[in-house]
Amino acid sequence: MAKQNVYDNQVFFDAFKKIRENETNFNDVIETPIITKMLPDLSGKKVLDIGCGMGQHAKQYADMGAISVLGVDISEKMLAFARENNSAENITFLQLAFEDLEEINDHFDVITSSLAFDYVQDFAELMQKIYALLTNDGKLVFSMSHPISTAYDGVFDRYTRTESGEKLYANLHNYNIEGLRKIKWVVDDYELYHRKVSTLINDMVSTGFIIEECQESNVSKKIRRQYPDKFDGVMHQPDFIFFRCSK
């Protein structure tokens, strides 16, 4: 499987870091509150955070009572930031691609991932590797870009707009064509994989997972009114999709 490591591109890393430092970024305002509500009680649990990035979630899980947190990521730059800014005695950070999860010789009560699975070429294989790492009553909770969002291939504007630029509705293009997408986001040829909602569900179920909950991202009217230029497209399409599964 192809392994993507765009986060060690210095230009991309610096731009991404600047985005995350903005307190109204999509991760903190939209993604984190939803995935946090979907988590089981982490008290005394062993947690694996796949694609841990800068370590914010790993630190959050440690603070929520996890007995240990293993954060894995392919990016040296992201892990360096995590170790410097989000470390704790019960957190271990390890450089490892999620294509190589079978190298972990341990089992976990809870496995999480925040917006990392967009980069996996073989989602079904990833689900099988995660399933093998969970304890018998373990939980998988993860978020990823919504298939309506990943369907975008950069050919057309994401939105149909008024003459003044107001977003009227989201455009959907080539949704049924799955596979690699290359778009311009911070850098040219930013790569991610698009797959349909049905593909995600079928790959999880065929692995043996029981899907307990699914959520799609949204923000309140209050936030949309407060930041109209930033979140005005959210009501037209969900940016992220979330699943909680049990083994």
pLDDT, average across residues 193-220? 95
Identity of the residue numbered 219: V
Helix, strand or coil for residue 112? strand
> Where residue 103 falls among pLDDT bands split at 50, 70, 90?
very high
Residue 2 burial class via C-beta count within 10 angstroms: exposed 0-12, middle 13-18, buried 19 and up: exposed
Angle at alpha carbon of residue 126, lines to 101 and 11, rounded to 5° = 75
Q: What is the per-residue pLDDT for 17?
A: 66
**Residue ranges of domains in the chain, CATH in brackets:** 6-246 (3.40.50.150)
- Give residue 203's pLDDT: 98
CB under 8 A, 24+ apart: contacts of 159-164 = 159/233, 159/236
**Residue whose entry in the numeric block shows the structure tokens 């079904």:** 124
3's tokens: 């392994």
Task: Return the sign of the alpha-carbon dihedral for residues 106, 111, 113, 116.
Answer: positive
Amino acid at 31: E
What would the pLDDT profile of 56-71 be if each residue is shown by its tens digit?
999 999 999 999 999 9
The mean pLDDT value of the chain amounts to 88
pLDDT of residue 72: 97
CA nearest 35: which of 60, 14, 55, 16? Answer: 60
For residues 209-230, give the mean pLDDT: 83
pLDDT of 190 above 90: no
pTM for this predicted structure: 0.89
For 2-6, 140-144, 169-173, which range has the lowest pLDDT when averaged over its residues?
Answer: 2-6
Backbone angles phi, psi at 149, to 5 degrees: -80, -45
pLDDT at 235 over 80: no
Span 131-136, average pLDDT: 98
